[in-house]
Structure 1
Amino acid sequence: MSNPLDFSGRVAIVTGAGGGLGRLHALGLAARGAKVLVNDLGGTVNGSGSSASAAQKVVDEIKAAGGEAIANGASVTDFSAVQAMVQQAIDTWGRVDILVNNAGILRDKSFAKMDLDDFRLVLDVHLMGAVHTTKAVWPHMVSQGYGRIVMTTSSTGLYGNFGQSNYGAAKLALVGLMQTLSLEGAKHDIRVNCLAPTAATRMTEGLMPAPVLEMLRPEAVVPAMLVLACEDSPSRTTLCAGAGTYEAAFVTMTKGMHLGLTPDTPERLLANLAEVTSRTGDSVPASGADQGTNEVTQAMAAHR
């Protein structure tokens, strides 16, 4: 039986792969046989500047280890440059099997002090960047009947973090994107998942004490990415990874209760809020339609 974590013959694109987690993702895929397009704009953590050398250094590392790789310096915010990047992979290797959307920047400030341009730019890089790359690879994955797409979400998007309203909004938006794309891609064997990493990189080095940073080596995130990008990957799954610990995050729905619609429904809803929000018997809806089904089913039962 073939090893589903053998990526021989597969072609991967990893964005933001000139350093940090992206570099390790690219090296991890290449070490298991994938041909890798290493994309990196070569900018700073806050998104300023650019340099092609960051991506090229990672390509050189992969080649030195006996792998195949090419460099690309496109900004994920530029759709035509992203389309050209995907075409570069197709021209070189004839297909694209895996897309790891890793590129990101930070512009941290409390919401009260945050400039709207900083909010918009973070959304543009994280959310629209992933939309651009996914849109560019999608027709190729559809035509070949195979694709694995990994979105990089964050605990900030899932659960919040002070001073990161822009980053959190963008990161949870990627979960929403995954939910629908995994449904639309299913018939073409395009599986879409999210990775929520906790790692010591340029983007986190000032936030935690040294002993904690040592445990949070970014290498410990890579196994989760490999599982989400492999042939036997799940779909519509959010894996969390840090310090060698792996969890899954779900958007769940409580059972709720039917209150009907009368003039005092707001008062009764407030009085029964603890029961409405109780996690007992909660579920993970298969799609958005499940919410409406639950509501109508309870309403119909109440009117029998």
Structure 2
Amino acid sequence: MDKIDFTGRVAIVTGAGGGLGRLHALALAARGAKVVVNDLGGSVDGSGGSASAAQKVVDEIRAAGGQALANGASVTDWDAVQAMVQQAMDAWGRVDIVVNNAGILRDKSFAKMELADFRLVLDVHLMGAVHLTKAVWPHMVAAKYGRILMTTSSTGLYGNFGQSNYGAAKMALVGLMQTLSIEGAKHDIRVNCLAPTAATRMTEGLLPPEVLDALRPEAVVPAMLVAVSEQAPSRMIFAAGAGTYEAAHVTLTRGVHLGVTPDTPERLLAALPRMADRSGETVPQSGAEQGSNEVRQALAARR
């Protein structure tokens, strides 16, 4: 069995002042990584800020014999994120691992949600991950090595009432991962997603006590460690909670070829059960595979 070891590696974990991010940072440090602990120190809705949260985690890591630096940048601030990456480069000369974990909630039904709250959630979750990934990308390309983890969510994958902004941001991270895993492959930059189910301050008040007890955040951490390890796969959506680990996929059914005639809309309506039949579905490895499937069936129908 391969040992997961991060000795000599440098990691940046965002939103690491508490909850899952803190546990991610501690676990990486415990296995030898030098860690930049980033946290704005704000509340769940993103308001406020204090560097003390990140510093406390740094103190924990150092007390255990590890190496860590605190950073209080907002991931929405491109210049501050670039400076954070430079902080890691100045201290340790490299960045091998990124865990994009920072996030906020502004939950309301779509009808009642202010557009400002929609934009802010997208800005933190999606653009925050874009900023950090963009800042580290040239360093990983130069090193011919990188491990990047996006934190997605079951809400993004499957939906949840009152979280249209959060779900949109989280599914967008899956799309970002899909393309970056392709572009990074030749540089050994592996990009994955993690959909955690865990009891954190974001879930307090949403779940009953016995469920919260089962969903200890510690149970998610093994999936993170695998996803950013030297042995990591790429382009995988890890799902984890309560000690159970799954893989989620974006799939494509075989579909039906109907051609294009005046009554195609009606025939398609009648054919929906066949179109959606999941037997023989595939997991496309690029967007081109959808078009290939469609053209293949069209050409076959002409023969």
TM-score between both structures, scaled by the size of structure 1: 0.99
Deviation at 1:206, TM superposition (A): 1.0
Match of 2:168 in 1: 169
Match of 2:31 in 1: 32
In the alignment, does 2:227 pair up with 1:225? Answer: no
Measure the CA separation in 1 of the matches of 2:67 and 2:189.
24
Letter in 2 for 1:47: G
In the alignment, does 2:30 pair up with 1:42? Answer: no
Match of 2:280 in 1: 281
Match of 1:243 in 2: 242
User: For residues 1-304 of structure 1, what are the structure 2 equivalents within 5 Å?
Assistant: 3-304=2-303
1:269-297: CA deviation from partner (whole Å, max 9, x where unpaired): 00000000010100000100000000000
Measure the CA separation in 1 of the matches of 2:277 and 2:29.
46
CA RMSD of aligned residues (A): 0.7
Deviation at 1:263, TM superposition (A): 0.3
Measure the CA separation in 1 of the matches of 2:20 and 2:134.
23
Deviation at 1:4, TM superposition (A): 4.8
Measure the CA separation in 1 of the matches of 2:13 and 2:259.
50
User: Does the Cα contact within 8 Å between 1:228 and 1:234 map onto a contact in 2?
Assistant: yes
Find the residue that maps to 2:160 and give its secondary structure: coil
Letter in 1 for 2:121: V
Letter in 2 for 1:120: R
Letter in 2 for 1:130: A
TM-score between both structures, scaled by the size of structure 2: 0.99
User: Does the Cα contact within 8 Å between 1:4 and 1:231 map onto a contact in 2?
Assistant: no
Measure the CA separation in 1 of the matches of 2:296 and 2:202.
47
1:142-196: CA deviation from partner (whole Å, max 9, x where unpaired): 0000000000000000000000000000000000000000000000000000000
Find the residue that maps to 2:254 and give its secondary structure: coil
Task: Give me the identity figure in percent.
Answer: 80
User: Does the Cα contact within 8 Å between 1:4 and 1:232 map onto a contact in 2?
Assistant: no
Measure the CA separation in 2 of the matches of 1:150 and 1:188.
16
User: Does the Cα contact within 8 Å between 1:157 and 1:172 map onto a contact in 2?
Assistant: yes
1:45-102: CA deviation from partner (whole Å, max 9, x where unpaired): 0000000000000000000001000000000000000000000000000000000000
Measure the CA separation in 2 of the matches of 1:271 and 1:39.
53
Measure the CA separation in 2 of the matches of 1:161 and 1:296.
35
Structure 1 unaligned segments of length 5 or more: list them.
none
Measure the CA separation in 2 of the matches of 1:186 and 1:52.
35
Measure the CA separation in 2 of the matches of 1:297 and 1:241.
37
Equivalent residue pairs, number? 303
Find the residue that maps to 1:272 and give its secondary structure: helix
Measure the CA separation in 2 of the matches of 1:286 and 1:255.
15
